[in-house]
């Protein structure tokens, strides 16, 4: 049915683009609570994209992916990060290694690079697959850029989780992935989140800050 095919393509395209746009919003945002909220919205769109692909591809296991993204990535993890920020009393503006302007320019260049890399190697695939992979790779690279340019450990972790959102977006856009992989990814994310939480508390106790730039002053210091 052409009408359904067009609706499927347009809806998936809008959701994938929304995830990518929110990656730019993460790079632009300078407030820590704002970063957490944007990440939650990105995870919510990821859940919607997975659910729509489950419907369009007739792949019921992708509904589990959507549920994992909705419950853990869009709700549990942002809430826990919010609590950690409040407990550690780090309400302040984030510092970046690059200014907002140069960072956004680099981000646009990474998106262009993603398109140049993905489109030639997926020429035999459908338009939706090509564009979904391009958006997913762009999201991965923008998450990596956020990890590199942010000096705050919490924002670097959010960058890592945004990168992981891009990987899941790529997986659901190419006829999904096995359920065992989805569950292992969810488990890995939760374990990593627990480790990062412990890591934050140890950093705060040792250095009284989560700013990576300030921690450089302690290099080589004996305890």
Residue 223 domain-assigned?
no
Q: Do 47 and 73 meet the contact criterion of CB atoms below 8 Å apart?
A: yes
Q: Do 45 and 15 meet the contact criterion of CB atoms below 8 Å apart?
A: yes
Q: Is the dihedral of CA 116, 121, 126, 129 positive or negative?
A: negative
Q: How many residues does the chain have?
A: 223
d(CA 74, CA 36): 10
Residue 42 domain-assigned?
yes
What is the pTM assigned to this prediction?
A: 0.81
Token pair, residue 131, equals: 């564009």
For 32, the domain range is: 2-217
Q: What is the pLDDT of residues 66-77, one digit of tens each?
A: 888 898 889 988
Residue 20 domain-assigned?
yes
Number of domains the chain contains? 1
- What local confidence, expressed as pLDDT, does residue 37 receive? 93
Closest CA to 16 of 123, 104, 197, 140: 140
- What local confidence, expressed as pLDDT, does residue 149 receive? 87
Token pair, residue 160, equals: 């890592």
End-to-end CA, the chain:
69
d(CA 138, CA 109): 10
Residue 152 domain-assigned?
yes
Q: What is the pLDDT of residues 81-140, one digit of tens each?
A: 888 777 777 656 677 777 888 889 999 999 999 988 887 776 666 666 778 888 999 999
- List CB contacts of 109: < 8 A, sequence separation 6 or more: none
Phi-psi region of 136 (alpha: psi -120 to 50; beta: other; left: phi over 0): alpha
Question: Which tops the pLDDT comparison, 5 or 196?
Answer: 196
- What local confidence, expressed as pLDDT, does residue 99 receive? 81
Checking if the pLDDT of 191 tops 70, the result is no
Identify any residues that bridge with 152 across adjacent strands, giving them in sequence order. 211
User: Strand, coil or helix: what is 150?
Assistant: strand
């Amino acid at each position: 049915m052409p009408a359904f095919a067009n609706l499927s393509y347009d809806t998936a395209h809008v959701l994938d683009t929304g995830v990518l746009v929110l990656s730019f919003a993460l790079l632009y945002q300078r407030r820590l609570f704002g970063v957490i909220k944007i990440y939650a919205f990105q995870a919510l769109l990821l859940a919607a994209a997975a659910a729509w692909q489950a419907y369009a591809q007739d792949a019921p296991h992708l509904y589990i992916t959507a549920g994992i993204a909705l419950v853990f990535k869009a709700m549990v993890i942002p809430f826990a990060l919010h609590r950690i920020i409040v407990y550690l009393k780090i309400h302040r503006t984030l510092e970046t290694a690059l200014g907002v302007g140069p960072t956004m320019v680099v981000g646009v260049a990474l998106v262009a690079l993603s398109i140049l890399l993905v489109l030639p190697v997926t020429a035999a695939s459908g338009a939706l697959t090509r564009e979904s992979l391009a958006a997913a790779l762009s999201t991965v690279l923008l998450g990596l850029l956020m990890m590199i340019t942010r000096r705050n450990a919490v924002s670097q972790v959010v960058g890592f989780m945004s990168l992981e959102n891009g990987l899941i977006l790529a997986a659901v856009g190419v006829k999904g992935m096995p359920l065992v992989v989805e569950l292992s990814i969810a488990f890995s994310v939760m374990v990593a989140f627990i480790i990062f939480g412990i890591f934050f508390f140890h950093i705060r106790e040792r250095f009284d800050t989560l700013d990576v730039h300030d921690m450089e002053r302690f290099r080589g210091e004996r305890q």
